[in-house]
Amino acid sequence: MTAETYGLPEFSTMSPEACAAEIREAVARHAGVMERIGSEAAPPTIASTLLPFEQAQIALEQPVHLAWTFIQSVGGGQWEQVETEITPLLAAHNNDVYLDRRLYRRFEDLAAQRIDAETAWTVSEHLKVFRAHGAQLPPESQNRLRKLNAELAELSSSIGQRIVRAGQSGALALTEEETAGLSPAQRTGLAAFAAANPERAQGCPYLLSLTLPTQQGLASSLTNPSVRQRIFAASLTRGDGHDEATDTRELIAQVVKLRAELAELLGYAKYAEYVAAQSTAGSTQAIDTLLDSMVEPTQRNVEREACELEDFYSRSAQGNAPFLPADWTFAQEALRASRFNMDNSELSSYLELTNVVENGVFYAATKLYGLQFTSRPDLRGYTEDVRVWEVQEEDGTPLGLFLGDYYAREGKRGGAWMHSLSMRATNGSDYAIILNNLNLTKPGEGEPTLLTWDQVTTCFHEFGHALHAFLTDVQWPSAAGTNVPRDFVEFPSQVNEMWAANPEVLDHYARHWETGEPLPARLREALSESEGFAEGFNTSEILQAVLLDQAWHRMAMADEFPEAEGITAFEMAALERAGVASAWIPPRYRTSYFNHIFSSGYAAGYYSYLWSEALDADTVDWFTSAGAKGQDGGLNREAGERMRSCILSRGNSRNPMDGFEELRGRSVDTGALLRRRRLS
């Protein structure tokens, strides 16, 4: 099938100016459709109200999703200008739609009619969105909401841009000696980045860019303590005011105040309560029940690991230097290698990117769901690094296209994510176009892209989101795939991580990049034996970030909000109060570069990763017990089809938690999560 049949854009013809113009035209067309629906005199029907509402949304989303692909994955000054222009435009238009009392009343009338269960749920979800935006409020409150939403949209855009610039300006130039401990492939990638950015490299042969989380992956391999300290300090101080151009603090202070006011206008004491009410959690009390159970055992694990690492470090070749927080991940990986006889650089030589994706990620999807993948080098992405695959059912029925954009580049947003250009639905698009983004350091010409184990699981994780999209089977586009509550969306992707270590899948992709030899038994055993190692560290950094997010969004209008200069003090006090502050381990994201909650839609919702992991851990238990056949760990079509029918195909066409309970035959057992993270 051709690119045109699938609806794949001709990326090479796209310019920032053309994308912005197309969005302006799409907004005008969408406004016209909304006006026709709202002014309709006849009683609402599915055909006159829900169908045109849904299809008009698709027409609006297509150019918007395309623009965001370039804004997030390509970046640069011109695309930042597009973001700055379209963000307030879309926010204002969104207000026009969801504060329109005529539309709201028509959906209320639809909800009172006798309609099929899936459509009734979709109508109720639309009503939830209208109410969450304040459609039921008096005009004066709606006017204030419009202003708040416009301000928040602009602030969010500005914060995201500053976080990107902070990562760029914080790049560290390194000498040959300072890269001691890195593999040849890692050095080649840093050298290529330095060559592409000579001004930042300042004559040094290597340049290390900062990734989004606090801990920088390469630091765990660097043997020079002073270099690790430089990287650690550069990462922690992003956006903290030392560089005016990247200072996010004042903008964040404004966002927190505005969100508290928005929540109060909508009838909630705190923004976190407003977010929880729209999610599967339902309340902040339910969130606290999970989080509180994790605090004390996590702190115990951190203290134990700190003593263990400090002792190990003092006995190592670098024992003449004091053990500092910047040394934690280096000592942790050295201890892992010593205890489990596992050399990470050796392991990486068996984890080449294309093998991981095509013979690992895709292989698991074929075994579970019968999906077929065909490389399409004739189809072009938005940069030369983007690869395209065609995705089909086992019988050859086309589902859509998968685009993999795995390398970091100047201007690209940090981290890893999935997003869509189109989503399948009976009353929507026929095909899905799904993208996965990572931020791997691109190797030199002819060199392999070798992954760490964490990067392997990230590949499986992000493709779990893609599966949620490709396997959707719903009537209405708004219910398709990943269009589920924020605290459910990570669940299928986290489950998909389990297949990275499945013995059969591992056999299929873990091959030496030069010789094709399979992963040696000792490394396979080391991976298995090291499962659960460093869970104190892993849980602490994410739990701190979750509780920091909750602290910022549990402020009420009557509280005293910190100004820019007080943000660090607020952060430390919040972590101390929650009982998770650590002298050794910083949060996965500090406030000043917490892109998820201040620029990417996870405000008061970062708990979703742990909430979804509770569902995930319980589901993994099902796969490896009731879903398993012999010793396959659940890697079979019957188990996959049940996961598909209960969860992946249903999207938000019913309460997503109903699907989980159908799969498990009961509500979630959080004990599975506590056991996985060594907290029970």
- Is the pLDDT at 317 greater than 70, yes or no? no
pLDDT in tens, 443-500: 888 889 999 999 999 999 999 999 999 999 999 999 999 999 999 999 999 999 999 9
pTM reported for the whole predicted model: 0.94
Q: Could you tell me how many residues make up the chain?
A: 680
Average pLDDT over residues 380-385: 96
The DSSP annotation for 319-363 comes to TTS---GGGHHHHHHHHHHHHHT--HHHHHTT-BHHHHIIIIIHH
- Is the pLDDT at 319 greater than 80, yes or no? no
pLDDT of residue 318: 63
Are 400 and 433 within 8 A, CB to CB?
A: yes
pLDDT of residue 414: 87
Q: What are phi and psi of 525, to 5 degrees?
A: -65, -40
pLDDT of residue 680: 84
- Is the pLDDT at 522 greater than 90, yes or no? yes
Report how far residue 349's alpha carbon sits from residue 522's, in angstroms, rounded to the nearest whole number.
Answer: 15
Residue with tokens 């086992």: 394
- Is the pLDDT at 535 greater than 80, yes or no? yes
**Annotated catalytic residue within 390, 462, 535, 613:** 462
Is residue 344 very low, low, confident or very high in pLDDT (cuts 50, 70, 90)?
A: confident
Are 312 and 331 within 8 A, CB to CB?
A: yes
In this structure, how many other beta carbons lie within 10 angstroms of the beta carbon of residue 585? Answer: 25
Query: Where do the domains of the chain lie?
Result: 3-98+100-133, 170-237
Higher pLDDT: 290 or 445? It is 290
Average pLDDT over residues 317-339: 89
Q: What are phi and psi of 208, to 5 degrees?
A: -105, 115
229-238, 310-319, 334-343, 671-680: range with highest mean pLDDT: 229-238
3-class state of residue 636 by DSSP: coil
Tokens of residue 569, six digits: 């003090």
pLDDT of residue 316: 82
CA atoms within 13 A on the CB side of 160: 29
The CATH T-level fold of domain 3-98+100-133 is Glutathione S-transferase Yfyf (Class Pi); Chain A, domain 2 (1.20.1050)
Average pLDDT, whole number, for the chain?
96
Tokens of residue 489, six digits: 């969306």
| Percent over 90 (pLDDT), the chain | 94
Report how far residue 128's alpha carbon sits from residue 9's, in angstroms, rounded to the nearest whole number.
Answer: 33
- Is the pLDDT at 8 greater than 70, yes or no? yes
Whole-number Cα distances in Å, 510 to 389, 502, 506, 513, 642: 21, 11, 5, 9, 28
- Is the pLDDT at 600 greater than 70, yes or no? yes
3-class state of residue 227 by DSSP: helix
Pairing of strands 398-407, 432-440: parallel
Tokens of residue 173, six digits: 């130039």
**Poorest-pLDDT segment among 235-244, 271-280, 323-332, 406-415:** 406-415
The reply to whether 462 belongs to the active site is yes
